[in-house]
Amino acid sequence: MCEKCSENLHQTVAPSRRSMVLFAASALGMAAFGGTAVAKEAKAPPKPQNVLSPDAALKRLMEGNARYVSGVSRRHDFTHEREALVGGQNPYAAVLSCADSRIAPEYAFDSGRGDLFVCRVAGNFAGDETVASMEYAVAVLGTPLILVLGHDSCGAVEATIKSLKDDKPLPGHIPSLVSAIAPAVKAVAQQSGNALDNAIRQNVIDNVAKLKSAAPILNAAVEQGKLKVVGGIYRLNTGTVELIAQG
């Protein structure tokens, strides 16, 4: 074979750098979403007990809270749980919680490692990043339940009420929290009763509705009966979670 023919053959067979990059990107995308389903079919989930229906997941979550409130939380074997979870995760519930240091969903629901997929932000509202995280939990990890968890005496909601009342912006990046929580505060402004309690409750209800209707992933899972989105209030004095919005 002449030297020129050899060069032409090499150019025909060898993939270009651009095509290799595109192929790699495509493969990564399939692994992140479509490939996950194949992986789940190929091996048992890390925690088989976490494969539950939405209603069963809610029941288990609330049973854990009852143990926590009663002071009879289980002793969790974190050593063996770590070993089981090295290759993956399948949490049975996702929780959108306030970042308040007094609220710890893993403790409040007496859960083990790998049981809860938790997103925390002051004011427990669903911004774009949180919605995306919940989509990942549902579409990739197969989580059947989302709980939006508010709590008594929420500082973020209280700060929003004060900022709106005084018509005075707060420093730094805190106004972003105010903007997210403001719709709930305004919605209950004319209601009787405690303004803070009313706003905390409405904020949970609003974010349950937002997650349930988030297209195209979460709303489809709800419509297909694969996902339940509920809301609750954590009572600081008892540790009890009171469900207030059930889909």
- Cβ within 8 Å of residue 228, ≥6 positions away: 54, 55, 57, 58, 144, 145, 146, 222, 246, 247
**Lowest-confidence segment of 7-16, 36-45, 146-155 by average pLDDT:** 7-16
Q: What is the pLDDT of residues 151-204, one digit of tens each?
A: 999 999 999 999 999 999 999 999 999 999 999 999 999 999 999 999 999 999
pLDDT value at residue 42: 61
User: pLDDT-based confidence at 84, cuts 50/70/90?
Assistant: confident
Regarding pTM above 0.75, the answer is: yes
DSSP string, 176-207: HHHHHHHHHHHHTTT-SS-HHHHHHHHHHHHH
Summary mean pLDDT of the chain? 86
Q: What is the pLDDT of residues 88-97, one digit of tens each?
A: 999 999 999 9
pLDDT value at residue 193: 96
Q: What is the rounded average pLDDT of the residues 211-231?
A: 98
Bridge partners, residue 139, by sequence: none
Is the Cβ–Cβ distance between 246 and 162 less than 8 Å?
no
pLDDT value at residue 24: 36
Q: What is the percent of the chain with per-residue pLDDT over 90, rounded to a whole number?
A: 75
User: pLDDT-based confidence at 209, cuts 50/70/90?
Assistant: very high
Kindly tell me if the per-residue pLDDT of 14 is higher than 80: no
Kindly tell me if the per-residue pLDDT of 4 is higher than 80: no
Q: What is the rounded average pLDDT of the residues 32-55?
A: 72
Catalogue the E-assigned strands of 60-115: 93-97
User: pLDDT-based confidence at 80, cuts 50/70/90?
Assistant: confident
**Lowest-confidence segment of 7-16, 43-52, 142-151 by average pLDDT:** 7-16
pLDDT value at residue 247: 60
pLDDT value at residue 6: 46
pLDDT value at residue 41: 52
Kindly tell me if the per-residue pLDDT of 143 is higher than 60: yes
Q: Which of 125, 116, 114 is nearest to 145 (CA)?
A: 116
Q: What is the percent of the chain with per-residue pLDDT over 70, rounded to a whole number?
A: 83
Q: Which of 160, 242, 161, 163 is nearest to 205 (CA)?
A: 242
Whether the CA torsion 106, 206, 201, 166 is positive or negative: it is: positive
